[in-house]
Amino acid sequence: MTADDTAWPPLPYDEWKETCATLHLWTQIVGKVRLARAPASNHWWHVPLYVTSRGLTTSPIPDGERVFEIGFDFIDHRLLIETSDGGREEVPLAACSVADFHAEIMRRLQALDIAVRIWTTPVEIPDPIPFEEDRVHAAYDPEQAHRFWRVLVQADQVFKRFRAGFLGKASPVHFFWGSFDLAVTRFSGRRAPRHPGAPGVADIITGEAYSHEASSCGFWPGNGGYGRPAFFSYAYPAPPGFADIRNIPAGAFYDAQLGEFILPYDEVRRAPEPGQLILDFLESTYAGAATLGNWDRAALER
C-alpha cells in the first residue's frame, strides 16, 4: 500500500533539480525583501516564509502605516504582491532567469511605492552569483513546483501536530529560504555552547540561531548536496549517545556525515500512514535528544 500521489506525490530530485535550484533563488529574493523590512526577531524568525493553501508567503511586511505581502501561488503559478491599501501586482511564474525575476520583482515593488534594497548575493549555496547577474538558473517546471508545494502542505500539518505537544519555547513551522527547507525547533531553555559555524552562513546567524540547546527537525527536497528528498532530525549540541538511538521507525537511520537522523521521503510515500510515520520519527528522535540531554521533559511537554 502506498501513499496517495495527490497528497504525497513523487519528487525525484534528478527530475526537478533545475527547477529546484531556480526556485530556491527566487525564494531568496523574496525572503530578502522580508529580511530588509521586518523587525528583527529572536533566532532570525523574522526572515522565513510560511506554507499557505496555495504556496508560500512572507506574511505581512511593514511599510510605514501600511503592510504588504508577497506570496508564491503554485496552483495558478503566479507571484502576488499585495498591499493593505488595495495595491496589487502579479508576476507569472514561468521559466526565466534569476536576473530577470529579480528585476521584475524590484520593478513591481517600485510600482507599489515600496522602496526596498536587498543584498543581492545568494546565501547558503556554493559559488553564489549575484541575482542581477544570474542567467544560469532559469528553469521552472510548473508540475514539479506544484508537487514540491504539495509535500510542504502535508509536512506542515504534521510538523504543527508535533509542535502542539510541547509547552516550552518552540519555533513556528517555517520555510527557510537560505537552506530551502521546512523546519520546526524545540528548545530546552538552557544556553548552548557557541556554534562552530556552517559553510556559507555568517557566524552572526548561526550564533543566534543555536544560542540555546535545541532539537530541530524538518524536510528538504533534495538540494544541498544530499540528492534526494528527506525528513531530518538533529540536536544541538548532540548529547553523548545521540547517534546510537535505536527506537526510531523502520527506514530511518543516522547519517554520520550529516550528524542527523534521516527518514527518506520515498519511505514515507510507501507507508500505509505517511503522516504517522513522520510523527513517529520526529517524536522518537526528539525523545532521544531530550532524554540523553537531561531536558526537564515533565515541565516542557504537554
More confident residue, 205 or 51: 51
Q: Is residue 8 part of a domain?
A: no
Q: Are residues 224 and 173 in the same domain?
A: yes
Mean of pLDDT values over 154-168 = 98
**Residue that is last in its domain, among 98, 133, 168:** 133
Question: What's the confidence (pLDDT) of residue 70?
Answer: 98
d(CA 142, CA 226) in angstroms, rounded, equals 23
Question: What's the confidence (pLDDT) of residue 199?
Answer: 76
236 in Cβ contact with 172 (< 8 Å): no
What ranges in the chain are assigned the alpha helix state H? 13-37, 98-111, 142-163, 203-209, 265-270, 274-292, 297-300
- Tally of CA atoms within 13 A in the half-sphere of 273 that contains its CB: 7
Q: Are residues 256 and 294 in the same domain?
A: yes
Instruction: Name the nearest CA neighbour of 93 among 40, 29, 156.
Output: 29
Q: Are residues 146 and 91 in the same domain?
A: no
**Residue that is last in its domain, among 102, 133, 164:** 133
Question: What's the confidence (pLDDT) of residue 2?
Answer: 53
**pLDDT for 100-152, tens place per residue?**
999 999 999 999 999 999 999 999 999 999 999 999 999 999 999 999 999 99
Percentage of residues in the chain having pLDDT higher than 70: 99
User: Over the chain, what is the mean pLDDT?
Assistant: 96
Q: Is residue 240 part of a domain?
A: yes
Q: Are residues 167 and 282 in the same domain?
A: yes
Alpha-carbon Rg for the chain, nearest whole angstrom, is 19
Q: Is residue 258 part of a domain?
A: yes
Q: Are residues 114 and 251 in the same domain?
A: no
Question: What's the confidence (pLDDT) of residue 1?
Answer: 37
**pLDDT for 11-22, tens place per residue?**
999 999 999 999
Q: Are residues 193 and 85 in the same domain?
A: no
Q: What are the CA-CA distances from residue 6 to residues 75, 181, 216, 269 (Å)?
A: 13, 21, 27, 11
What are φ and ψ of residue 40, in 5° steps?
-65, 145
pLDDT over 50 at 175, yes or no: yes
Q: Is residue 6 part of a domain?
A: no
Q: Are residues 129 and 147 in the same domain?
A: no
- Rounded to the nearest 5 percent, the helix, strand and coil shares of the chain are 35, 25, 40
Question: What's the confidence (pLDDT) of residue 4?
Answer: 66
Looking at 65-79, 195-209, 225-239, which range is the least confident one? 195-209
Q: Are residues 83 and 231 in the same domain?
A: no
Question: To 5 degrees, how large is the angle CA 265–CA 142–CA 11?
Answer: 15
Number of domains within the chain: 2
Q: Is residue 209 part of a domain?
A: yes
Q: Is residue 3 part of a domain?
A: no
Whether the model clears a pTM of 0.85, i.e. scores above it, the answer is yes
Q: Is residue 38 part of a domain?
A: yes
What are φ and ψ of residue 42, in 5° steps?
-60, 145
126 in Cβ contact with 50 (< 8 Å): no
d(CA 252, CA 258) in angstroms, rounded, equals 14
**pLDDT for 221-276, tens place per residue?**
999 878 999 999 999 999 999 999 999 999 999 999 999 999 999 999 999 999 99
Per the structure, the complete domain to which residue 23 belongs is given by 13-133
d(CA 87, CA 224) in angstroms, rounded, equals 37
Q: Are residues 127 and 177 in the same domain?
A: no
Instruction: Name the nearest CA neighbour of 242 among 287, 210, 300.
Output: 287
Q: Are residues 27 and 90 in the same domain?
A: yes
Q: Are residues 278 and 155 in the same domain?
A: yes
**pLDDT for 286-300, tens place per residue?**
999 999 999 999 999
Question: To 5 degrees, how large is the angle CA 263–CA 184–CA 260?
Answer: 40
**Residue that is last in its domain, among 67, 100, 133:** 133
Question: What's the confidence (pLDDT) of residue 198?
Answer: 83
Q: Is residue 7 part of a domain?
A: no
Q: Are residues 103 and 182 in the same domain?
A: no
